[in-house]
Amino acid sequence: MLKGKKVLLGVTGGIAVYRVAELARMLIKQGAKVRCVMTNAACQFVTPLTFEALTGEKVHTALFNLTDEREMGHIQLARWADVVVLAPATSNILAKLAHGIADDLLTTMMQVCEQPILIAPAMNVSMWQSASTQKNVAYLKQKNMQILPPVPGILACGEQGAGRLPDLNVIVDALLPLLHSPCLQGQRWVINAGPTVESWDAVRTLSNRASGTLGAYLARWAEAWGADVCLIAGVGTPETPAGVQRVNVETGLEMLVACEKAAQDSDVFIATAAVSDFRFAVSPKEKIKRQNISSMMVEMVSNPDVVAHIAMMPHRPKTVVAFAAESQNHIGYAKDKLQRKAVDAIVANDVSNMGLSRSSGWWVTADQTVALKAAHKSQFAQQIIQKVMAL
């Protein structure tokens, strides 16, 4: 997701520094290049050696370093980065940024920073809620700095309230819109994902192995590239960025209703969800007791074909993309579904991809069949979005 992107971490003095070390590791794992600037206070919590070991890069701490400053190091650091992340951001650093104070390497660097800035504060709840801090935060937002407010929880001091560093995945998700061109801005995308679950009785259900991971990545990337995204999420679909509108559903009928409502007059509808083909004709609200029953006949009825319904409805989306998970004759079945369901394109893949972190397949339209490169589902999602944009 972040391959080749250059992230500059500004680390200030709070107990959440130890979590930022894990953030650095996460960024590198996703392909980013990471450099760190630490304040003196941050070094009291975690040594620079920790971040050097994680990033493989020198950690910058001193403004008056003759070797660095001979080349105007604080300016070069700011220019090197694609994005700057301040985490954990203390009340002190927020005040300094708001009032233009430059008394160490980090604050001096921020004076000349022209790159996108993401700030993740963490502090005592009373400090966060204080009038001066909120005034500083409001000012920094006016300066187009992105601020992720701290989240509620038990704080290091033993108090409870909104003061904890946001979840690291939330911080990573918030970086995406700052790093990628908004080439989908003004478009409305609807994506469905995950399995549906059909109740047999009060306890038992019918479902499948779909995880919803690919659909969640599609929503994440479409939102990062500027689209207004609605994700219709089946049971167990992974979390999505705050900027994605999410509608949780359970059954095939609920999936149809939610998709129909969201997809009207949209630009793109992508149907990754594995909707159960059948549901139980009768679903008792009580648990069916086994007792002495050795066998049982169960009547099933067809669920609606969601993507075909969306493709044929009045005010259909401009582009409708279906998925075809098959165990054999992948391209042949995909071409048949392309005509039968009246969709614009189909991603054909193998059922063995369900539940895995990687995927592969084929992009099938009326004019072409193209193999999609096997990749992690995040990169696979990017390939699909690029194909949709080409339509």
Return the CATH number at 310: 3.40.50.10300
Domain end position, chosen among 143, 161, 179? 179
Domain that holds residue 36: 6-179
Residue 291 lies in a domain: no
7-62: pLDDT as tens digits: 999 999 999 999 999 999 999 998 999 999 999 999 999 999 999 999 999 999 98
Residue 289 lies in a domain: no
Predicted local distance difference test score (pLDDT) of residue 37: 96
Residue 373 lies in a domain: yes
Considering the domain architecture, whether residues 166 and 192 belong to the same structural domain is answered as: no
The DSSP 8-state label assigned to residue 234 in this structure reads -
201-215: pLDDT as tens digits: 999 999 998 999 999
35-47: pLDDT as tens digits: 999 999 999 999 9
CB 362 within 8 A of CB 335: no
Considering the domain architecture, whether residues 122 and 226 belong to the same structural domain is answered as: no
Residue 359 host element (H or E): strand 358-364
CB 232 within 8 A of CB 259: yes
Q: Determine which one of 43, 113, 157, 259 is catalytic.
A: 157
Q: What is the torsional sign of CA 58, 60, 66, 72?
A: positive
CB 284 within 8 A of CB 264: no
Q: Over its length of 391 residues, how does the chain's per-residue pLDDT go in tens digits?
A: 688 999 999 999 999 999 999 999 999 998 999 999 999 999 999 999 999 999 999 999 987 654 554 454 568 888 999 999 999 999 999 999 999 999 999 999 999 999 999 999 999 999 999 999 999 999 999 998 999 999 888 877 778 888 899 889 888 888 888 887 788 999 999 999 999 999 999 999 999 989 999 999 999 999 989 999 999 999 999 988 888 999 999 999 999 999 999 999 999 999 999 999 999 999 999 998 887 778 888 999 999 999 999 999 999 999 999 999 888 999 999 999 999 999 999 999 988 887 788 899 999 999 999 999 898 888 899 899 999 999 8
Domain end position, chosen among 179, 205, 240? 179
Our count of domains for the chain comes to: 2
CB 231 within 8 A of CB 215: yes
Residue 46 lies in a domain: yes
230 is catalytic: no
**Structure-block tokens of residue 110:** 């921020």
**Structure-block tokens of residue 196:** 């549906």
Considering the domain architecture, whether residues 17 and 141 belong to the same structural domain is answered as: yes
